[in-house]
Amino acid sequence: NAGVTQTPKFQVLKTGQSMTLQCAQDMNHEYMSWYRQDPGMGLRLIHYSVGAGITDQGEVPNGYNVSRSTTEDFPLRLLSAAPSQTSVYFCASSYKGHGGREQYFGPGTRLTVT
Amino acid sequence: AQSVAQPEDQVNVAEGNPLTVKCTYSVSGNPYLFWYVQYPNRGLQFLLKYITGDNLVKGSYGFEAEFNKSQTSFHLKKPSALVSDSALYFCAVRVHNAGNMLTFGGGTRLMVKP
């Protein structure tokens, strides 16, 4: 199994540009999520999905859109990039369960917005 | 709302000495608590979790954590540190009513010196 994969690894955008961060998992996990990591702030939840066709907002959803058309894929779209979105983005997945299932993280995408 | 605090930005320890990385939490109801480790330029890896039962939880790579309900703490410990344990450590708690999604602490950098 490849686990959780993310593309691209690095990206530089200009303010106002849009782009999609890709995330895929091959473990048949029901739950998927996007986090952003900023120094000293840990990881913050952007959006999450508990199954195909179902998404919900996390702690910091503004400026981001998601969709979940298949179990495997969970892309994150930046609609109009801003310097405040400079961060490292992690996708994660886990099995559905009673809440004690650990999450599996992708390697991350480092995004710089100038 | 739940929250996690890691009061130390960095912990320094000599190789072979015991280590402790501190974590306190605030949740309503019973907490589901996790520790993750992040090596440079990598995604997060699961170390251990507390859901219920024995207050001392054992995890990967010789790490363990002690759940203390009265002090709302979940400190990470290891009896004998290795240089290879040097990494960024995150404590996390499950987000209420959001599947297996997590709220993370700000992270603690562990430096183990030879």
Q: Could you tell me how many CB contacts below 8 A there are between chain A and chain B?
A: 78
With CA atoms as reference, the chain A residue closest to B99 would be: A99
Mean pLDDT across the stretch B89-104?
A: 87
- Residue A43 to residue B43: CA distance in whole angstroms: 11
**Residue found by looking up tokens 């998927």 in the block:** A32
**Alpha carbons B14 and A46: distance in angstroms, whole number:** 37
Residues of B in contact with A40 (CB under 8 A): 9, 106-107
> Is the predicted pLDDT of residue A100 greater than 70, yes or no?
yes
Q: What is the pLDDT of residue A41?
A: 83
Considering CB atoms only, which of B46, B102, B106 is closest to A41?
B106
Task: Return the number of other C-beta atoms located less than 10 Å from residue B5's C-beta.
Answer: 14
CB atoms inside a 10 Å sphere around CB B111 = 13
Chain A: give the shortest CA distance to residue B103, in Å: 7
Q: What is the distance in angstroms between the Cα of B35 and the nearest Cα belonging to chain A?
A: 10
- Nearest chain A residue to B34, by CA: A102
- DSSP at B72: T
Nearest chain B CA: its distance from A81 CA (Å): 23
pLDDT band for position A75 (50/70/90)?
Answer: very high
pLDDT tens digits along B31-70? 899 999 999 888 899 999 999 889 999 999 999 999 999 9
Whole-number average pLDDT of chain B: 94
Query: Is B95 at the interface with chain A, CB within 8 A?
Result: yes
pLDDT higher than threshold 80 for residue B96: no
Tell me, what's the pLDDT at A99? 62
Q: CA-CA distance, A75 to A33, in Å (whole number)?
A: 10
